Amino acid sequence: MKIFLKYLLMVSLCFPFFLSAQQVRKINILDADEARFDRSSGITARRLIGNVIFKHEDALMYCDSAWFFPSTNTMDAYGSVRIEQGDSVDMTGKFMSYDGNTRMAKMRDSVVLIHKNSKLTTDSLNFDRKKNIGYYFGFGEIEHESINLTSYKGYYYPDIKDYIAVDSVRLVHPDYTIFADTLKYNTESKITNFLGPTHIISDSSRIKCQIGWYDTENDISAFGENTILYQQSQTIWADSLFYDRNIRSGKAWRNIYMLDTLEQFAGSGNYAEYNELTGKSFITDSALVMYYDKLDTTYIHADTVFMEEVGDSARRILAYYKVQIFKEDMQGRCDSLVYFDSDSISVMYGDPILWSGESQIIADTIEMKMRNSVAEQLNMKNSAFIVMQEDSIRYSQISGRDMVAWIQNNELHKINVLSNAETIYYGRDDKTDEIIGVNKEVSNSMTIYREDGQVRRIDFIGSPDGVFMPEKDADPLEMRLRNFAWYGKFRPESLKEIFFWHEISK
């Protein structure tokens, strides 16, 4: 008898559907332990109790009890509510309001949605079966393999397997944790897209960005818009950053700025690559590196600057092509430069020129030793030449094959000319500081001692040959050693000027 009543109930509810010309499909009752009719409110309702089963299109719906309203094609389900949609979506909860016309399911209280190998847990979920989209609010948690994703609200698209988490988003992976405003995660590709302010934290680094993506399957990622990477004492800013965790290698684009507070080093440019395993990196396109301390900062610009770690804590800087240097007390230019920060030595190659105070220094190669960011000693190898400007037309000069110079109080204090030594220097009155004459000296080698911008003593090695001429008898244009040249107009006088290269014709 019970089976017969169920059969009549099913037929009576299904029959109008077959007669209707409407495209909206009616909700069908497949089973229930007990069925009652209720018209007390003026609306015909079915009260179903015990092992209730509904069917709507390709979805089966289970519950402990339900109210069904045939006239509006809606239902309210209670108890152990469950929806099975095909062989993919399985959704459970303790209460559901379902509209067969709009195909909208509103599931509440301990809601769990399982699709393939992902699981969404929340207390409030609206699932639009027509568009096949789920929307949760009031906090939700998504579990997929090693990923745990939580947010205040979000969307799920089963067709494309996308979770979009919004508001107070947190994604936990064994290797990192992501905090974001909006985030999209695809359970098939395992790619996470950041769609708002994002903060990524791992054991060794932190990343902040506005947009980007992380491929957890292949361990590659890209970050954009105001990207900042924090790594121990190093910080990198860039418009865009790409990182391959497999080879621990990265690339950065546009408005790059790198800062190492431990090494007191910074660099900037518009394109850079780095590799954590090899300790090598380079920066190009308006490349600039900076060494700074409390007293001063040294700026080095070149077409491309390479950096590599040598040893546990030492770094070597290699600057190539059109190198220019700016420091408050010293400026320079050359074709290429190597800097060893372990012993603070810079070596300049390719027509190097240094300016310090009123002095200009040239040689085939110039090696500069620093102490506390201050030049202390210069080694000039092959064709060494020092020019010191006395006024607009007069220049003191020192020439030799090789030289070693010591700097004190921002001026050349002691100069060893090691061979083929020649010098022209102007003498001044100690009281008036006016030029009184010019000395010309030639020797195999010599040591020159300077103080307050004047030559105070010369020690000669070998047989010196010299002459003194009064100022009135010395034509400034004739007081020139062989290979004399003054390149003052090419001297970078400000930080901005080191980005403009002027070719020197010799």
The string of pLDDT tens digits covering residues 388-430 is 888 889 998 999 999 998 888 777 888 888 888 899 988 888 7
Instruction: Band the pLDDT of 376: cuts 50, 70, 90.
Output: confident
pLDDT higher than threshold 70 for residue 312: no
Q: Is 37 left (phi over 0), alpha (psi -120 to 50) or beta?
A: beta
Q: Does 393 share its domain with 427?
A: yes
Residue with tokens 């030595």: 345
**365 and 335 housed in the same domain:** no
- Which position has the higher pLDDT, 235 or 263? 235
pLDDT of residue 246: 87
Instruction: Name which of 124, 220, 225 is nearest 181 in CA terms.
Output: 225
446, 451, 452, 453 alpha-carbon torsion, rounded to 10°: 10
Regarding whether 388 and 313 lie in a shared domain, the answer is no
Contact 395, 373 (CB under 8 A): no
Percentage, residues of the chain above pLDDT 70: 93
Same domain? 279 vs 311? yes
What is the distance between the alpha carbons of residues 168 and 178, in angstroms, rounded to a whole number? 11
* pLDDT tens column, 255-296: 999 888 877 788 999 999 988 888 888 999 999 998 877 677
- Domain presence at residue 390: yes
Mean pLDDT over each residue of the chain, to the nearest integer? 86
- What pLDDT is recorded for position 31? 93
Q: What's the CA gap between 491 and 489, in Å, rounded?
A: 6
Please report whether residue 455 resides in a domain.
yes
Range of the structural domain that residue 361 is part of: 352-494
Q: What's residue 328's pLDDT?
A: 85
Q: What is the per-residue pLDDT for 455?
A: 76
Residue 297: band (very low, low, confident or very high) from pLDDT cuts 50, 70, 90: confident
Domain edge (last residue) among 351, 367, 397 = 351
DSSP bridge pairs for 10: none
Same domain, 358 and 487: yes
Asked whether residue 82 is assigned to any structural domain, the reply reads no
For residue 434, what is the enclosing H or E element?
Answer: none
- Would you say residue 59 lies in a domain? no
Residue 4: what pLDDT? 33
Same domain? 248 vs 261: yes
Comparing CA positions, the residue from 121, 127, 88 lying closest to residue 107 is 127
What are the beta bridge partners of residue 151? 140
pLDDT of 353 over the 80 cut: yes
**Residue 236 lies inside a defined structural domain of this protein:** yes
* CATH classification of the domain holding 318: 2.60.450.10
DSSP E strands: which ranges in 276-428?
A: 280-292, 297-310, 314-327, 330-340, 345-349, 353-356, 359-362, 365-371, 374-389, 395-408, 411-417, 421-428
Last residue of a domain, one of 351, 378, 397: 351
* pLDDT reported for residue 350: 93
Q: Is 151 a domain residue?
A: no
pLDDT digits (tens, 9 = 90+) for 6-46: 433 443 444 343 334 346 789 999 999 998 887 766 677 88
Residue 296's pLDDT is 78
Q: Which region holds residue 195: left if phi is over 0, alpha if psi is between -120 and 50, else beta?
A: alpha
What confidence score (pLDDT) does residue 373 get? 67
Please give the pLDDT value at position 29: 92
- Domain final residue pick, 335, 351, 367: 351
Residue scoring higher pLDDT (11 or 159) = 159
In terms of domains, do 240 and 340 share one? Answer: yes
Q: Decide if 306 is inside a domain.
A: yes
pLDDT in tens, 67-122: 999 989 999 999 999 999 876 789 999 999 999 999 999 999 999 999 888 999 99
Q: Which residues pair with 448 in a beta bridge?
A: 415, 458
Same domain flag for 319 and 362: no
Q: Which two tokens stand for residue 461?
A: 């090695």
pLDDT at 42: 61
Same domain? For 396 and 466 the reply is: yes
What type of residue is 443?
A: S
Global pTM reads 0.76
For residue 37, being part of any structural domain is answered with no
**How many Cα atoms occupy the beta-carbon half-sphere of 482 within 13 Å?**
7
How many domains does the chain contain in total? 2
Regarding whether 408 and 371 lie in a shared domain, the answer is: yes
User: What is residue 257's predicted lDDT score, i.e. its pLDDT?
Assistant: 92
Question: What was the pLDDT predicted at 287?
Answer: 93
The answer on 480 and 430 residing in a single domain is: yes
Q: Which residue has the higher pLDDT, 226 or 23?
A: 226
Overall average pLDDT of the 363-377 stretch: 84
Mean pLDDT of 452-468: 80
Q: 389 and 483: one domain?
A: yes
User: Is 50 exceeded by the pLDDT of residue 138?
Assistant: yes
